[in-house]
Structure 1
Amino acid sequence: MLFPFARRRPDPRRALLDRLHGEIVGAVRRPAFYIDYGVPDTFEGRFELLALHAGLVLRRFNAAEKPGPAVAQDLVDTVFAHLEADLREAGVGDVTVPKRMKRLCEAFLGRSAAYDAGLRSGDGALASALGRNVYAGRVEGDAAERLSRYATLAADVLASTPLASCLEAPLPFPDPSTVPSLSPP
């Protein structure tokens, strides 16, 4: 190599952010959400679950001591960098990508705020927000309520997990298939 000093060293922060993003995406890809919960298996449905799961992790990190909030900001940047790459890979043109990214950013931030408010209020607001966003208002049975119970459980598990554990070990997302449906099968 002509300039060996120009080689980049591996960035441990990048490895952490990529791992966290991968774990969020792994949670989003769980088949139970699409089979048992009836979340549409579309770009929009997957985006909704990404917004939910990433929002729960960001909520946990922003409530933590240092370096939690800084990691949360870097994680948002990582999530959106991956979303932009996904759009480009799907063939969205260079002119359209910034417009789509702006809409996705606004949707993500709006949903994160609505889900946080719903978790704090505990009066059915979370199920209502999930029904409106994830199911586009066309929810069948108790799917939105079940997803709300899953999100509440995930938020509680994340909140009770020390920040160091969240940063060093896999994120403790619960198994969605363990949250029972209130409707008879």
Structure 2
Amino acid sequence: MVFGFFRQKRNNKVIVERQYQALTTAARSTVFYRDMQVPDTVLGRFEMLSIVLILYFRRTAKSARSGQEIAQNIIDAFFEDVDHSIRELGVGDPGVPKRMKKLAGMYYGRLESYAAALDAKDRAVLAAALKRNFHPEAGDAAPSMQALADWMLEAEEALAAIDEDAIETGMARISVPQD
């Protein structure tokens, strides 16, 4: 019985790593940065990965227990990755918790605002939230984020159609626009 538990954890690790890699690959697709006004900066990449994870988590929220467990492991991997990145950028140990708290707050704030717009299928509200989050300093001069909002709604529909086996095995893929 105990050995089965450890085997399951090891299998979950492989599944989580495979799924997290697929999600980060999708978030790094050049089309977002080249054609959809996503800034190719550390913060822009954080924002884009947050969007991909939010879409994935909205899908796994409707999954069986194993899909939700994998999703929890992926969010843990995401924040471990963020912690590692902060340290690589030269933030010392005393400053890491403060930065992590700020980034976690940003992530969960986006989750709420994007979820409301996605639930309502309101492209304009979603584009406005994206504009605010991706280009906070630009104000009215910020570029339109309509293409990204449109993609998010399409990606969410495509994720809803993904078979549960793909979720449970870490094989779910988020379609990205063609380069």
Task: Please report the TM-score for the alignment, with normalisation by the length of structure 1.
Answer: 0.84
The answer (yes or no) to whether the contact 2:16–2:170 under 8 Å persists in 1 is no
Q: What residue number does 2:121 align with? A: 122
- 1:134 matched residue in structure 2: 134
Question: What is the CA–CA distance in structure 1 between the aligned matches of 2:178 and 2:37, rounded to whole Å?
Answer: 12
Query: Identity percentage over the alignment?
Result: 33
The runs of 5 or more residues in structure 2 that have no matched partner are: 1-5
* Structure 1 residue runs without a partner (length 5+): 1-7, 179-185
Rounded to whole Å, the distance in 1 between the matches of 2:116 and 2:71 is: 18
Residue 11 of structure 1 aligns to which amino acid in structure 2?
Answer: R
Cα pair 1:36 1:177 within 8 Å, conserved: no
The aligned amino acid for 1:133 is N
Q: The residue matched to 1:176 in structure 2 has which SS?
A: coil
Q: How far, CA to CA, are the matches of 1:135 and 1:166 in structure 2? A: 33
Q: Which residue of 2 aligns with 1:155?
A: 156
Greater Rg, structure 1 or structure 2? 1
Counterpart-to-counterpart distance in 1, 2:35 and 2:178: 8
| Stretch deviating more after TM superposition (162-171 or 30-39) | 162-171
Distance 1:65 1:169 in 2: 14
Deviation at 1:114, TM superposition (A): 1.1
Tell me how far 1:169 sits from its aligned partner.
5.6
* Number of equivalenced pairs: 169
**Deviation (angstroms), 1:173:** 1.5
Give 1:167's aligned amino acid: E
User: In the alignment, is residue 63 of structure 1 matched against residue 58 of structure 2?
Assistant: no
Q: Deviations over 1:42-70 (max 9, x none)?
A: 11100100110011111111122222222
TM-score (norm 2): 0.86
Query: 1:16-48, CA deviations, whole angstroms, 9 ceiling, x for partnerless residues?
Result: 111221111111111111111121111110010
Q: More relative contact order in 1 or in 2 (CA 8 Å, sep 6+)?
A: 2
The letter for the 2-side match of 1:147 is L
In 1, the alpha carbon distance for the partners of 2:119 and 2:52 equals 16
